[in-house]
Amino acid sequence: MNNDPVTTTHTLDAGAAVTTTTLVHPATAGREWWRSAVIYQVYPRSFADADGDGLGDLAGVTSRLGHLTRLGVDAVWLSPFYTSPQHDAGYDVADYRQVDPRFGTLTDADALLEKAHRLGLKVIVDLVPNHTSNEHAWFQAALAAAPGSPERERYVFREGRGEHGELAPTNWISVFGGPAWSRVTEADGSPGQWYLHLFDVTQPDLNWENEEVRLELESILRFWLDRGVDGFRVDVAHGLVKDQSFPDWGHRTDMVSGHDDEGGEDELGDVRTGGHADPGPSPYWDQPGVHEIYRRWRRVLESYDGDRCLVAEAWADGPEKIAAYTRPDEMHQAFNFDFLSTPWDAELLRESITGGLGAADAVGAPCTWVLSNHDVVRAASRLGLAKTGKGPNGIGADDPQPDAEQGLRRARAAALLMLALPGSAYLYQGEELGLPEHTTLPDELREDPAYVRTGRAEKGRDGCRVPLPWEADAPGFGFSPNGATWLPQPADWASYAVDTQKGVPGSTLETYRAALRLRRDYRLGTGSLAWVDGLDDCAQESVLAFTNREVLVVANLGATPVELSLGVELVHASGPLGQGTTGGLLVPTDTTVWVRPVQPERSEPAR
Ligand code: GLC
């Protein structure tokens, strides 16, 4: 595959001679739906509640699918709804083949799939293979069994260090803070072995050296494929295999970006990995052995009809390492969190986009784009902070508050930038409403294990998980029939409600809807990106400009408005535009436009 960027100088319109660098070669793109799909993440706890217990459920999701078809997405990814004690909001699975009664039944899951498919939506479900819940039958059996038993071999049990085994086997630190090992009490009441949990103490890591574990997870894949799901989002895909020599590596990994912005020591005395500084190879993230697991999974998926897909949540260093998960015989997509973590800065974003596209292109996979999910501060708030980038792990009432107006303006501009990029894009529920983070949640209501495990130093992720506002005038903004909501919604969310924005030109919801329609009309998801340099007098350090098919995208991240003097026809804009002094389109700060260059009418040659 020839992946060298092609640089050409040509004329974009009669006035502007520009340089373009084409990055993605359309020839490498296939026709499968997931290559260009817009996939909407439903967080079932907070999407819609049908039974009135204040927690969302599958029947609620089914009842609101019309919102997603009107919005114009191609697929839905459902965060976990399986049987779980909910110590990590369902990412602690006790039974992978059952729906938690809080969310409904298997019949409800079938009904959701059936309706989604009837509406033309694909459905991806979450799979959590790195760890189970401590309430999973396997872990309960392991606790009851003796050291060295086959039951313990399904997890990572080790003897402790120290004279009496009183010290953890390694100094590994949980992603949620605190030690990654906990000691069990053996059946005879004596202090016993230690088990590994890279996340919460209630999330014991599975032992992927054990073939029984591999076969069980493949059987779970088949269970859901047989029910008709179109794919899986694979949780912590980079974590399954551990270095069997169990060396010390005492660094705390930050969620999503895989590294910490600040470095140094945090409040718990945990050593943070520190920006991109290299803390040395991790003995449990991104081990080469994980790839063989996904090769086997790929073969399982390919034994089914339809284009079923695997999406990796993998925090690895740099776009090439992430793209390795999407080689032709592995997964189909991997989340590109670098884009999400990049500060609001034209040059850095350009670098990130170029890197992501190039790496994905090199393995023939689509690049993915995501701005928000259930693990990070919502983009509309993150981009309103003084320091943009991945953002803190949650915001509390005593923390500096985001600039809401600036955050929303930037989030909309970022969305139009993202949705014009070739590849597949992910939207997180509520992002289409411009929902901000709940930054003043009462601390006593927080449920994220990271809040407690960091000694309440990090507020955690609850603020991005607040139940959606559907109807401005209904109790609980229409989230549930009786107004119950498992987390309180801010009082001013009426202005974000779906029914407030529906049909209102210029609202965030209508801006997203139009963007998705135009993205489809112009086939931007399967196009190629060509950076445009030399456009008017745009300062390259504050403007991103590229073409994808016939659309020219200009995002102004600078402090001053930018006037497009070339003849253009407006396709879409993330916010209000002005008119420049020479009559051209004026693109204000933190605004993205999609335009089509128009050729000036040629005058008839003189005879
Ligand atoms: C993933 C999920 C996150 C969860 C963690 C442990 O990163 O996105 O929500 O807490 O895995 O399963």
258-280 tens-digit pLDDT = 765 455 555 555 555 544 456 78
153 vs 3: which has the higher pLDDT: 153
What is the pLDDT, as a whole number, of residue 7? 60
Q: Is the CB–ligand 1 distance for residue 88 below 6 Å?
A: yes
114-158 tens-digit pLDDT = 999 999 999 999 999 999 999 999 999 999 999 999 999 999 999
Half-sphere exposure of 342 (CA within 13 A, CB side): 23
Hey, whose CA ends up nearest to atom 9 of ligand 1? 375
193-233 tens-digit pLDDT = 999 999 999 999 999 999 999 999 999 999 999 999 999 99
Q: Is the CB–ligand 1 distance for residue 448 below 6 Å?
A: no
- Say if CB 272 and CB 254 are below 8 A apart: yes
195: how many CB neighbours lie within 10 A of its CB? 24
61-94 tens-digit pLDDT = 999 999 999 999 999 999 999 999 999 999 999 9
Q: Is the CB–ligand 1 distance for residue 315 below 6 Å?
A: no
Give mean pLDDT, residues 183-190. 95
| CA 307 – CA 354 distance, rounded (Å) | 27
Among 120, 130, 109, residue whose Cα is nearest residue 196: 130
Among 350, 353, 404, 348, residue whose Cα is nearest residue 379: 404
Q: Taking the complete model, does pTM exceed 0.85, yes or no? A: yes
Residue reference for tokens 């050296």: 209
Here the tokens at position 322 are: 């992430």
Using DSSP bridges, classify how beta strands 17-22 and 6-11 pair: parallel, antiparallel or unpaired.
antiparallel
Mutate to test the pocket of ligand 1, among 236, 372, 465 (most ligand atoms within 8 A of CB): 236
List strand residue ranges (DSSP E) for 450-590, in order: 529-533, 543-548, 551-556, 562-564, 568-573, 578-579, 585-587
Task: Ligand 1, residue 374: give the atom nearest the CA.
Answer: 9
**CB burial readout 252-288, b (16+ within 10 A) else e:** bbbbbbbbbbebeebeeebbbbbeeeebeebbbbbbe
229-252 tens-digit pLDDT = 999 999 999 999 999 999 999 999
| CA 76 – CA 64 distance, rounded (Å) | 12
Q: Which domains does the chain have, with CATH numbers?
A: 6-23+528-597 (2.60.40), 28-130+210-515 (3.20.20.80), 137-196 (3.90.400.10)
What is the pLDDT, as a whole number, of residue 106? 98
Q: Any residues with CB less than 8 A from the CB of 37 and at least 6 apart, and which?
A: 73, 74, 75, 122, 424, 425, 525
Half-sphere exposure of 30 (CA within 13 A, CB side): 11
Q: Is the CB–ligand 1 distance for residue 91 below 6 Å?
A: yes
Distance (Å) from CA 435 to ligand 1 centroid: 21
Task: Ligand 1, residue 200: give the atom nearest the CA.
Answer: 6
Distance (Å) from CA 26 to ligand 1 centroid: 34
What is the pLDDT, as a whole number, of residue 254? 85
Among 342, 449, 327, residue whose Cα is nearest residue 387: 342
| CA 152 – CA 413 distance, rounded (Å) | 51
| CA 257 – CA 424 distance, rounded (Å) | 19
Q: What is the mean pLDDT of the chain?
A: 92
Element (H, E) at 301: helix 290-302
Distance (Å) from CA 209 to ligand 1 centroid: 22
- Say if CB 193 and CB 158 are below 8 A apart: yes
**Residue 99 — very low, low, confident or very high, per pLDDT cuts 50/70/90?**
very high
Residue reference for tokens 């894949």: 221
Among 220, 141, 223, residue whose Cα is nearest residue 184: 141
Torsion of CA 358, 363, 364, 366, to 10 degrees: -60
**Percent share of the chain, pLDDT over 70:** 89
Residue 592: pLDDT above 50?
Answer: yes
Residue 289: pLDDT above 70?
Answer: yes
Residue 334: pLDDT above 80?
Answer: yes
230 by Cβ neighbours in 10 Å (0-12 / 13-18 / 19+) ranks as: buried
**Residue 26 — very low, low, confident or very high, per pLDDT cuts 50/70/90?**
low
**How many residues are present in the chain?**
607
- Say if CB 507 and CB 498 are below 8 A apart: no
Here the tokens at position 510 are: 């209508």
13 vs 532: which has the higher pLDDT: 532
492-542 tens-digit pLDDT = 999 999 999 999 999 999 999 999 999 999 999 999 999 998 886 666 679
Distance (Å) from CA 130 to ligand 1 centroid: 10
343 by Cβ neighbours in 10 Å (0-12 / 13-18 / 19+) ranks as: middle
Here the tokens at position 314 are: 């993998």
Q: Is the CB–ligand 1 distance for residue 198 below 6 Å?
A: no
What is the pLDDT, as a whole number, of residue 8? 56
Give mean pLDDT, residues 448-464. 96
Here the tokens at position 160 are: 């402790």
527: how many CB neighbours lie within 10 A of its CB? 22
Hey, whose CA ends up nearest to atom 7 of ligand 1? 236
- Say if CB 170 and CB 247 are below 8 A apart: yes
What is the pLDDT, as a whole number, of residue 534? 80
What is the pLDDT, as a whole number, of residue 565? 79
Residue reference for tokens 């945090």: 266
